[in-house]
Amino acid sequence: MIERDRIEALTELMSELEQDLDRSDSLTGRRHRGVELWVRVVIGLVAALALSNLYFVNDLTDEVRLVITRMQEMNSLFTRVSARMDQISIEIDAIERNVLLMPVVADQMREMSAHVTVMEQSVSFMDRAAARLGDSVAIMDGNLHDIALRFHGLNRSVGAMGVDVNQMARPLP
């Protein structure tokens, strides 16, 4: 009889242990689903951030191209102004020869010619600076293309991480 009481007590203990284990599995499953949901939300947010960064880099690239086009147009205008300044300088030299008899006018013409020469040098300097700026913008365009490729790689890595997290989130058989 003592053995029977012990067996019944052990059976009762085993039943309680089984009920405790069932409750524990239920709580663990809910926690696991919650963690899985948070991981998916975080991966979604990272993917959205990467896509928005890619969009802004692309937009910046378009703006840089527009700036380059405008700089080239401005460079063309400065070239035409420089050519016209050369023509003005030639005309001033011709006028100077015609008015050598008037010393005041001749002095003023020389001063104007000097200013035109300075302006021509400034336009030439601006032309070289615009060319250097064009080269720098081309380098920036290459760097932006590099960044876009890196974001594309990042997007692929985030996608692979999502697959890995989904696989890790599956319950073990």
* Count of domains for the chain: 1
Task: Say if 26 falls within a structural domain.
Answer: no
**Residue-range definition of the domain harbouring residue 133:** 52-169
Mean pLDDT over 29-34 rounds to 66
With b for 16 or more beta-carbon neighbours within 10 A and e for fewer, the 2-15 pattern comes to eeeeeeeeeeeeee
DSSP string, 11-23: HHHHHHHHHHHHH
In a domain, 22, yes or no: no
Own/partner long-range contacts of 12-15 (Cβ < 8 Å, ≥24 apart):
none
Q: What is the mean pLDDT of residues 8-33?
A: 73
Given a contact cutoff of 8 angstroms between Cβ atoms, the answer to whether 71 and 133 are in contact is: yes
Q: Specify if 19 maps to a domain.
A: no
pLDDT at 156 over 70: yes
pTM of the model: 0.33
The predicted-structure confidence for 93-134, as pLDDT tens digits, reads as follows 887 777 666 676 667 778 888 888 888 888 888 888 888 888
| Residue 102 DSSP one-character state | -
Higher pLDDT, 8 or 77: 77
Please check whether residue 78 lies inside any domain of the structure.
Answer: yes
pLDDT in tens, 49-85: 888 888 888 888 889 899 889 989 988 888 888 888 8
Q: 124 lies in a domain?
A: yes
